[in-house]
């Protein structure tokens, strides 16, 4: 093997005799049912540098972690490798475990032998076992060359930017301000409240949405710690947790003129909300017939229709019957529905529409008893506390239900002329799939939620979106309000469809995370940033040409042996550790800490090493 190339391998990072502890997790059978963990442990003892090699049923459990701690002390380990599940689940757990034993957490390496081994090679136990050994061998190579790293500590600006002045944004702002944290609340429209203004009566309390909006608004307005910027947009954002530089553009301030202000915040909360789905022209006759409305339109109709009467009235005509069609723009089926302008099909459930429809249907029946209501659904999803009551009450109030299949949606046509009643044809699965025909005066389309507008922030901060186009949290259970960019949090419907209560709960959860970030004076960051080996740097400046992040990398003049020389220098707060600079350095003077090229080389060596001599 050609690893003697002096250009490639520097032994500087290699401790004289590393003592690596290897721990293999059975994961209660998840791993050991396929991978022969005992055999792996035995073989791994043969890998150079490995001092201890053990198996445990649950490495992540307390006794599992205790084993590592005990060994670090008793066996004088200086490196630890755990072969278990994906590092996304437990890297932090085990880092914590080694820290408790006074070991540097970055001298720990995790090997994924579950998601990428035992689960992916279920029918090849021999192959999976051999692969586990090679992967551990690679990790031992990497960890042997690992150097102790420390978290980067940066000043923390005790100020939060909340983007969006809807219920989620107002809730986060109010929560944080109540805990003494100053908040900049940016809202692009001219008033706070967001979508609350388009809602009527909220379920399950029946409270008026505008009342809630007013209550929350007055709370936010009264708090001197909250700076509210209406008619404004975030146009520029850069920086990092604790130190985000934000440019806000808008016509606020005394002059009323369009101005731009800059501020520094420690945390950004995305409360950017959702957009209701807008049906295409002609979708269920929308925009082709005057009485085909969406639930959003219908909400304002209900809100403005002050008179109680026998029937509902709309644009001068009496509406004798209404059909609500569920899942418009939600639960779309490939090949049945037409993708939107962005080529996207909304295959997800928008969660709130079922109860919204029933809430509206019930209001119609209660306020306009002679207006008949029909409900065309796929499934009635009144899942929440107090929601099923809407379904029951709507039934009791005489709403008639029809059930269609997603791949056979109902059709809406004009019965006669352009302003005639509407004709709905539905294959009704409550009637054994029979084709039924209804004539109605109005059709209300229960439009779903689509991802809200937040392009600037998404583009500039590179925020990930999910398959559904909503902002993607790191993990729905482990880190539900955090996103892959440190210091950016998700609140409410920017993340997924939610009703108002859920939105407020999610906002509370985001606020609590934000507040926790401000409990320390400084922000702590992972140390995975570029690092320059000044001995090797010849000051070519090639690296600089590759860096996309303003201020992350610079050439500075320093004195060396009495001469002034140019050397590259990294700003760890701005460097994202992408490594674009690394690949071009002719002297290999620059590397990303924790992910150095020589470590990768050592991994490749480990991968091709014949660890298992007796087997071959």
Q: How far is the CB of 135 from another protein (least distance, A)?
A: 6
Reading the block at residue 255, the tokens are 């002059």
Beta bridge partners of 263: 246
Contact between 405 and 378 under an 8 Å Cβ cutoff? The reply is: yes
Contact between 115 and 131 under an 8 Å Cβ cutoff? The reply is: no
Residue 524 within binding range of another protein, rule CB under 8 A: no
Contact between 269 and 160 under an 8 Å Cβ cutoff? The reply is: yes
Q: Which of 110, 109, 108, 134 is nearest to 121 (CA)?
A: 134
Reading the block at residue 574, the tokens are 């701005």
Residue 345 within binding range of another protein, rule CB under 8 A: no
**Among 249, 289, 515, 567, which residue interacts with another protein (rule: CB under 8 A)?**
515
**Among 17, 366, 392, 411, which residue interacts with another protein (rule: CB under 8 A)?**
392
Cα of first residue to Cα of last residue in the chain, in angstroms, is 18
Measured from the Cβ of residue 197, the count of other Cβ atoms closer than 10 Å reads 16
Residue 349 within binding range of another protein, rule CB under 8 A: yes
Q: How far is the CB of 258 from another protein (least distance, A)?
A: 28
Tell me how far CA of residue 473 lies from CA of 404, 448, 461, 467, in angstroms.
33, 20, 14, 12
- Residue among 87 and 453 whose Cβ is closer to another protein: 87
The Cα 614–Cα 42 span in angstroms is 12
Reading the block at residue 181, the tokens are 């944290």
- Residue among 118 and 232 whose Cβ is closer to another protein: 118
x/- letters, 59..78, toward another protein (CB under 8 A) = -xxxx-x-------------
Of the candidate spans 171-179, 190-198, 260-268, 275-283, the one that interacts with another protein by CB under 8 A turns out to be: 171-179
Residue 482 within binding range of another protein, rule CB under 8 A: no
- Burial of 194 (C-beta count, 10 Å sphere; 0-12/13-18/19+): buried
- Residue among 20 and 168 whose Cβ is closer to another protein: 168
Residue 605 within binding range of another protein, rule CB under 8 A: yes
**Among 47, 152, 212, 543, which residue interacts with another protein (rule: CB under 8 A)?**
212
Of the candidate spans 69-77, 271-279, 286-294, 596-604, the one that interacts with another protein by CB under 8 A turns out to be: 596-604
**Among 42, 223, 469, 502, which residue interacts with another protein (rule: CB under 8 A)?**
502
**3-state per-residue secondary structure call for 390-454:** HHHHHHHCCCEEEECCCCCCCEEEECCCCCCCEEEEEEECCCCCEEEEEEECEEEEEECEEECCC
x/- letters, 395..434, toward another protein (CB under 8 A) = xxxxxxxxx---------------------x--xxxxxxx
Q: How far is the CB of 390 from another protein (least distance, A)?
A: 11
**Among 15, 48, 49, 87, which residue interacts with another protein (rule: CB under 8 A)?**
87
* Backbone angles phi and psi of 463, in degrees to 5: -80, 135
Question: Total binding residues for another protein by CB under 8 A?
Answer: 161
**3-state per-residue secondary structure call for 21-51:** EEEEECHHHCCCCCCCHHHHHHHHCCCCCEE
Q: How far is the CB of 46 from another protein (least distance, A)?
A: 19
x/- letters, 15..54, toward another protein (CB under 8 A) = ------------xxxx--x---------------------
Reading the block at residue 199, the tokens are 């809602």
Question: Which residues from 258-297 bind another protein, rule CB under 8 A?
Answer: none
Q: How far is the CB of 58 from another protein (least distance, A)?
A: 5
- Give every CB contact of residue 91 below 8 A, 6+ residues apart in sequence: 108, 110
Q: How far is the CB of 234 from another protein (least distance, A)?
A: 18
Of the candidate spans 37-45, 185-193, 263-271, 471-479, the one that interacts with another protein by CB under 8 A turns out to be: 471-479
Question: Which residues from 232-261 bind another protein, rule CB under 8 A?
Answer: none
Crossing angle between the packed helical segments 62-74 and 87-100, to the nearest 10 degrees? 50
- Residue among 61 and 188 whose Cβ is closer to another protein: 61
**Among 442, 504, 525, 589, which residue interacts with another protein (rule: CB under 8 A)?**
504
Q: Which of 81, 77, 341, 381 is nearest to 203 (CA)?
A: 381
Of the candidate spans 157-165, 221-229, 259-267, 598-606, the one that interacts with another protein by CB under 8 A turns out to be: 598-606
**Among 43, 47, 128, 163, which residue interacts with another protein (rule: CB under 8 A)?**
128
- Residue among 49 and 406 whose Cβ is closer to another protein: 406
Strand order in the sheet with 321-328: 292-294, 442-447, 321-328, 372-377, 400-403
Question: Which residues from 532-561 bind another protein, rule CB under 8 A?
Answer: 538, 540-542, 546, 548-549
Residue 190 within binding range of another protein, rule CB under 8 A: no
Beta strands in 124-213 (DSSP E): 152-155, 159-163, 182-186
Q: How far is the CB of 39 from another protein (least distance, A)?
A: 15
Q: What DSSP letter does each residue of 316-352 carry, written as one string?
A: TEEE-EEEEEEEETSS--BTTBPP-TTS----S--SS
Residue 611 within binding range of another protein, rule CB under 8 A: no
Q: How far is the CB of 286 from another protein (least distance, A)?
A: 22
- Residue among 229 and 511 whose Cβ is closer to another protein: 511
The Cα 524–Cα 516 span in angstroms is 12
């Amino acid at each position: 093997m050609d690893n003697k190339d002096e250009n490639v391998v520097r032994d500087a990072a290699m401790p004289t005799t590393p003592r690596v502890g290897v721990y293999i997790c059975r994961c209660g059978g998840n791993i050991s049912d396929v991978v022969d963990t005992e055999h792996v442990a035995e073989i791994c003892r043969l890998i150079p540098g490995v001092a201890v090699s053990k198996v445990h049923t649950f490495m992540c459990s307390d006794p599992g972690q205790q084993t590592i701690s005990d060994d670090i002390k008793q066996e004088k380990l200086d490196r630890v490798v755990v072969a278990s599940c994906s590092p996304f689940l437990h890297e932090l757990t085990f880092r914590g475990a080694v820290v408790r034993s006074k070991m540097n957490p970055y001298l720990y390496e995790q090997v994924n032998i579950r998601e990428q081994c035992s689960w992916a090679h279920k029918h090849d136990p021999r192959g999976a076992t051999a692969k586990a050994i090679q992967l551990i061998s690679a990790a031992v190579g990497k960890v042997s060359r690992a150097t102790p790293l420390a978290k980067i500590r940066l000043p923390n600006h005790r100020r939060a930017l909340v983007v969006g002045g809807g219920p989620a944004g107002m809730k986060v702002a109010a929560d944080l301000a109540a805990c003494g944290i100053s908040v900049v609340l940016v809202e692009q429209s001219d008033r706070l409240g967001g979508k609350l203004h388009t809602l009527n009566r909220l379920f399950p309390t029946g409270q008026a949405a505008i009342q809630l909006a007013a209550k929350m608004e007055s709370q936010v307005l009264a708090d001197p710690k909250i700076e509210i910027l209406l008619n404004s947009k975030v146009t520029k954002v850069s920086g990092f947790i604790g130190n985000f530089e934000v440019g806000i553009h808008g016509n606020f301030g005394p002059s009323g003129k369009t101005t731009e202000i800059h501020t520094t915040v420690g945390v950004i909360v995305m409360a950017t909300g959702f957009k209701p789905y807008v049906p295409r022209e002609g979708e269920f006759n929308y925009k082709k017939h005057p009485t085909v409305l969406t639930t959003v339109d219908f909400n304002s109709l209900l809100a403005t229709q002050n008179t109680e009467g026998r029937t509902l009235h709309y644009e001068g005509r009496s509406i004798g019957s209404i059909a609500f069609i569920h899942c418009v723009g939600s639960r779309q089926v490939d090949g049945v529905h037409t993708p939107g302008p962005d080529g996207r099909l909304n295959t997800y459930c928008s969660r709130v529409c079922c109860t919204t429809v029933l809430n509206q249907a019930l209001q119609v029946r209660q306020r306009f008893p002679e207006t008949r209501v029909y409900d065309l659904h796929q499934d009635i999803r009144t899942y929440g506390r107090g929601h099923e009551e809407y379904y029951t009450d709507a039934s009791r109030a005489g709403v008639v239900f029809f059930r269609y299949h997603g791949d056979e949606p109902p059709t809406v046509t004009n019965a006669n002329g352009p302003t005639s009643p509407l004709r709905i044809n539905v294959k009704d699965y409550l009637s054994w799939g029979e084709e039924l025909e209804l004539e109605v005066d109005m059709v209300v389309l229960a439009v779903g939620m689509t991802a809200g507008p937040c392009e600037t922030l998404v583009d500039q901060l590179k925020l990930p979106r999910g398959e559904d186009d909503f902002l993607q949290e790191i993990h729905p259970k482990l880190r539900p309000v955090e996103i892959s960019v440190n210091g950016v949090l998700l609140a409410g419907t920017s993340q997924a469809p939610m009703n108002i209560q859920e939105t407020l709960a999610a906002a509370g959860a985001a606020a609590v995370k934000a507040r926790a970030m401000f409990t320390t004076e400084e922000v702590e960051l992972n140390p995975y940033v570029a690092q320059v080996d000044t001995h090797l740097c010849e000051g070519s400046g090639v690296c600089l040409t590759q860096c996309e992040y303003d201020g992350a990398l610079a050439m500075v003049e320093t004195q060396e042996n009495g001469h002034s020389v140019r050397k590259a220098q990294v700003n760890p707060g701005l460097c994202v550790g992408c490594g674009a600079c690394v690949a071009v350095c002719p002297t290999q003077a620059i590397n990303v800490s924790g992910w150095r090229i020589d470590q990768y080389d050592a991994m490749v060596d480990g991968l091709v090493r014949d660890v298992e001599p007796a087997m071959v």
